Amino acid sequence: MKLLNPSSAALLLLAGLPANAETSGQTSARMPSAKEREALVRLQVFLDSALFGPGKVDGLPGEFTTKAIVHYQTAHGLEPTGLPESLPVPQDSRAYTEYTIKPDDRKFVGNLPSKPAEQCRLQYLPYDSLLEFLTERFHCSEGLLEHLNPSLKLDHLNVGDTVKVPAVEPFQIEDVRAIAQLPEKPEYKGRSIRIDRKERQLELREGGTLLASLPITPGSESLPTPPGKWRIYGISTMPTFRWDEGVLNHGVRTDQFFMLPPGPNNPVGVVWCALNRAGIGIHGTNQPNTIGRAFSHGCMRVANWDVIRLIEKVTAGIPVVIE
């Protein structure tokens, strides 16, 4: 599918927002006003809830919001304009909600060493701050939380603090259990996944129907995501990760490696969806800000909040076509 490359002016019109002279031509786009940003957040929350992922919710115009609109329109038989006039976004729906930090939330936050040689000594790779916990829980950027909570010191959050956040379905790390092999779901055997490496998109289909689309980070030129027709071999949650510099840099397995424990800051995040190609899979990430904006080591990297919902809709054995 060929996707649009919209101008800044078109992106500011995403939710019927006015664009001024600064958004056209070669000039940089102005920042949306608070009202405009709320409308964009409402749109991104709508798309995120429908599993047409706009990337992180930030209330700003961007490539992945437009791609999500195009995919949603295509899935629902609408003209793929990349503009949201035809989308049934309830204008009275909440863009924002509030979240009060609980004592139990601190269980998932802790000291996170930067080096694999130190990480492998831990039992769990936690969030390194309550701010990181919140941005992943509510699928959003730090910048949006700063915009919404100017009176809070987000680097020094405490239990009992109430934070304004986007009204997405929260990613609840406390509900993710370590399962070595998820049971098969026969009702999903007719589904398939398509990976578009150029557009950095994952599409979930059933027959000719597009069910979901998500932004991904594919492999690099030196370690590309292998094109071809594959299948999901198995799906696990809260995986460990064999950190091997030889594999990561050259695709060659060595005996110098570290076994990294599970957790949201594991390099493959909270899900490993193995393909029938050794070492290749669809997985989560410890760096959601890089999704669609960097390169992986050959796999397909997806935000934890997206991949945990994706595996609810797929099963082992279904085709994965990488183009």
Given a cut of 90, is residue 54 above it in pLDDT?
A: yes
Question: Whose CA is closest to 248, among 186, 296, 199, 208?
Answer: 296
Reply yes or no on whether the pLDDT at 246 is more than 60: yes
Q: Give the pLDDT confidence score for residue 250 in this predicted structure.
A: 63
Do the bridges between strand 162-166 and strand 319-322 make them parallel or antiparallel, or are there none, so unpaired?
A: unpaired
CB atoms within 10 A of CB 289: 14
Residue 223: its pLDDT value, please? 81
State the chain's maximal CA–CA distance in angstroms.
Answer: 59
**Residue 20's pLDDT is what?**
36
On whether the CB atoms of residues 84 and 15 are closer than 8 A, the answer is yes
- Distance, CA of 173 to CA of 269 (rounded, Å): 11
Over residues 263-283, the mean pLDDT reads: 96
Higher pLDDT, residue 149 or 1: 149
The tally of CA atoms less than 13 A away on the side-chain side of residue 278 is 4
| Residues 268, 55, 81, 25, Cα dihedral to 10° | -120
Q: What are phi and psi of 108, to 5 degrees?
A: -100, 10
Which structure tokens are listed for 62?
């961007």
pLDDT given at position 10? 43
Q: For 108-128, what is the mean pLDDT?
A: 96
State residue 30's pLDDT score.
75
pLDDT value for 26: 34
Q: Which residues contact 118 (CB under 8 A, 6 or more apart)?
A: none
Local confidence band at 70 (pLDDT 50, 70, 90 cut-offs): very high
Alpha helices, DSSP H only, in the chain? 8-12, 34-49, 63-75, 116-119, 130-137, 142-148, 245-250, 304-310
Q: What is the pLDDT of residue 89?
A: 96
Whether residue 4 is predicted with pLDDT greater than 60 in this model: the reply is no
As annotated, the residues of the chain forming the CATH 2.40.440.10 domain(s) are 186-322
Per residue in 73-112, pLDDT (tens digit) is 999 999 999 999 999 999 889 999 999 999 999 999 999 9
Q: Are 148 and 25 in contact (CB under 8 A)?
A: no
Q: How far apart (Å, rounded) are the C-alpha atoms in residues 53 and 305?
A: 10
Signed CA dihedral, 261, 265, 271, 274: sign only: negative
205 contacts 194 by C-beta, under 8 angstroms: yes
Structural contact between residues 125 and 111, judged by C-beta atoms closer than 8 angstroms: no
Contact 203, 213 (CB under 8 A): yes
Proportion of the chain above pLDDT 90, given as a percent: 79
Amino acid present at 310? L
Name the band, by pLDDT with cuts 50, 70 and 90, for residue 18: very low
Report phi then psi at 45, rounded to 5. -65, -40
pLDDT tier at 255, thresholds 50, 70, 90: confident
SS3 62: coil
Residue 23 scores a pLDDT above 60: no
| CA 247 – CA 254 distance, rounded (Å) | 7
Q: Does 186-322 carry CATH code 3.40.190.10?
A: no
Q: Is the pLDDT of residue 194 over 80?
A: yes
Residue 190 has pLDDT above 90, yes or no: yes
pLDDT, mean over the chain: 90
d(CA 10, CA 296): 31
**pLDDT at residue 5 greater than cutoff 70:** no
Q: Which of these, 107, 110, 108, 116, lies nearest to 240 by C-alpha position?
A: 116
**Mean local confidence (pLDDT), 115-133:** 97
pLDDT reported for residue 29: 61
Alpha-carbon distance of 178 to 167, in angstroms, equals 27
Tell me the one-letter amino acid at 126: P
